[in-house]
Structure 1
Amino acid sequence: MDHTLLEQQLKQLLIRECDKEDDIDWQSIADDEPLFGPKSRIQMDSLDALQVSLALQQHYGVRIEGAKDGRRILNTIATIAAYIRQAQ
């Protein structure tokens, strides 16, 4: 899959699943921007992580098992993309 296309799709999916369309433009999200924590503009919480995990499973066929893996994989757009590429 095209490198930038996957990242663009992931940003759009993230904004949609976290219900942030009114707050953040997907195009303004950097690939290495943190998605969790106080330094994050997106400020994903555990419910957002669950929603995004389910959407990733539906769209890309990848499963994220457990909170520890979830935090590592859902850290940034770049880490999500790398996980999907490695799994496919």
Structure 2
Amino acid sequence: MMHTTIEDLIPQLKSQILERLDIDYMDPEELDEEMPLFGEVTGLDSIDALELTVMLEQHYGIKITDSKVARKIMVNVRTLAEYVYENGQI
């Protein structure tokens, strides 16, 4: 499936994140793309970051080996979508 814009990627990534992390108490529409992915609001941790890294590799062929890069792109759904848009196989 071809996605052409970051705006197309955002809802797709929201669904994939919630599915991957088994977050069933939230709908993709409820996940604010500007909200920090990690920290007090979400309760996500380093294990979740690893899960997201695996998800990016499986879905988009993106390998992230540097934790500094991972922290920079996993700020929120929008930063993730921008990185996938620039670097992924979409």
User: Normalized against structure 1, the TM-score is what?
Assistant: 0.86
Higher RCO, Cα 8 Å, sep 6+ = 2
Name the CA distance, whole Å, in 2 between partners of 1:31 and 1:44.
15
In structure 2, stretches of 5+ residues that fail to align are: none
- Which sits farther off after the overlay, 4-13 or 66-75? 66-75
Name the CA distance, whole Å, in 2 between partners of 1:5 and 1:77.
12
How far has the Cα of 1:83 moved from its partner?
0.7
Give the 3-state SS of the residue equivalent to 1:83 in structure 2.
helix
In structure 1, stretches of 5+ residues that fail to align are: none
Number of residues of Structure 1 aligned to a counterpart in Structure 2: 85
- Tell me the equivalent position of 1:79: 79
Deviation sequence 1:29-72 (CA, Å, 0-9, x none): 1111100012x2x3211111111111111111111122221111
- Tell me the equivalent position of 1:24: 26
Residue 33 of structure 1, aligned match among 32, 35, 60: 35
Name the CA distance, whole Å, in 2 between partners of 1:86 and 1:2.
10
Q: Percent identity?
A: 32
- Tell me the equivalent position of 1:63: 63
Deviation sequence 1:7-48 (CA, Å, 0-9, x none): 011000110111111x2111111111100012x2x3211111
Residue 8 of structure 1, aligned match among 4, 11, 17: 11
Aligned residues: CA RMSD:
1.3
For the 8 Å contact 2:37–2:76, the answer to whether it is kept is yes
User: Normalized against structure 2, the TM-score is what?
Assistant: 0.84
